[in-house]
Amino acid sequence: MDFSASSKLFELAKKIIPGGVNSPVRACRSVGCDPVFIARASGSTLWDADGNEYVDFVSSWGPMIVGHAHPEIVAAVSLAAASGTSFGAPTPKEIDLASMVVEALPSIEKVRFVNSGTEATMSAVRLARGYTGRKVVIKFDGCYHGHADSFLVKAGSGVLTLGIPGSPGVPEDIVKHTVSIPYNDVSVMERTLRDKVLDIACVIVEPIAGNMGCVPPQPGFLEKLRELTSELGIVLIFDEVITGFRLGYGGAQHYYNILPDLTCLGKIIGGGLPVGAYGGKAEIMNLVAPDGPVYQAGTLSGNPLAMAAGIATLKILQKPGFYEQLNAKADRFADELRGVAKRTGMDVRLNRVESMMTSFFTKEPVTHFESAMHADTKRYAQHYRQMLNGGIYLAPSQFEVAFISAAQSDDDLEKTLKMTEWSFKKLLEK
Active site residues: 144, 239, 267
Instruction: Determine the residue type at 76.
Output: A
Task: Determine the distance from the C-alpha atom of residue 133 to the mean position of all C-alpha atoms in its chain, rounded to a whole number.
Answer: 29
Q: Are 182 and 215 in contact (CB under 8 A)?
A: no
Report how far residue 114's alpha carbon sits from residue 277's, in angstroms, rounded to the nearest whole number.
5
Report how far residue 206's alpha carbon sits from residue 224's, in angstroms, rounded to the nearest whole number.
15
Q: Are 415 and 391 in contact (CB under 8 A)?
A: yes
Helix axes 71-82, 304-317, angle to 10 degrees: 150
Task: Determine the distance from the C-alpha atom of residue 351 to the mean position of all C-alpha atoms in its chain, rounded to a whole number.
Answer: 15
Q: Where are the alpha helices (DSSP H) in 47-116?
A: 71-82, 92-104
Nearest of 46, 62, 30 to residue 353 by alpha carbon: 62
Calculate the dihedral angle through the C-alpha atoms of 234, 164, 395, 97, rounding to the nearest 10 degrees.
Answer: 40
Q: Are 413 and 357 in contact (CB under 8 A)?
A: no
Helix axes 304-317, 322-344, angle to 10 degrees: 80
Helix (H, G, I), strand (E, B) or coil at 204: strand
Q: Are 235 and 257 in contact (CB under 8 A)?
A: no
CA angle 171-176-182, nearest 5°? 120
